[in-house]
Amino acid sequence: MAIQSIGDINREIANRCRAVGLSVDCMADGIYNAELAIIAEAPGERERQLKQPLVGTSGKFLWDVLRPIGINRRACYSTNVVKKQLRQQDDDKVGVTKNELDHYISVLKWELEQLPNLKYIVVLGNYALEAITGFSGIINLS
């Protein structure tokens, strides 16, 4: 299948995750020909409800900070490393196994390879840092 849109990418994300037994609560969003991708760790409750990345409190803050420098949501590709919500309403973190994380990272790498004009990647959180650079401990690298 030739990938030509975010819809195509999202269908293939669902297929790839389903094939290895991974949950998907939130898909990618934005534009297919974006130069900038923003990768978050995992969806929160609001992202899970709306099935879009970076639409909750943290996402609103991010877009409010980026807007004054000319970066808006619709000009970017946004996604999560882990496609399922890691925090439940009682705020207990539900983790992923190393095997699950490896599979999610594989899907993310495939995603990014599909974006024909991608030049820049912004990573938000440890999972995103590890997925893109192989480093862990985002606080240690600042």
Task: Give whole-number Cα distances, 14 to 28, 44, 81, in Å.
Answer: 11, 18, 13
Residue 69: CB atoms within 10 Å: 6
Mind listing the pLDDT tens digit for each residue in 123-132? 998 899 999 9
Average pLDDT over every residue of 51-62: 95
Sheet holding 29-30, edge to edge: 29-30, 77-80, 36-40, 120-123
Q: What is the mean pLDDT of the chain?
A: 92
Please tell me the predicted confidence (pLDDT) of residue 136: 81
Please tell me the predicted confidence (pLDDT) of residue 94: 73
Kindly report the CA angle at 63 between 62 and 67, in degrees rounded to 5? Answer: 125
Q: Are strands 29-30 and 77-80 parallel, antiparallel or unpaired?
A: antiparallel
- Which of 21, 33, 132, 3 lies closest to 83 in space, CA to CA? 21
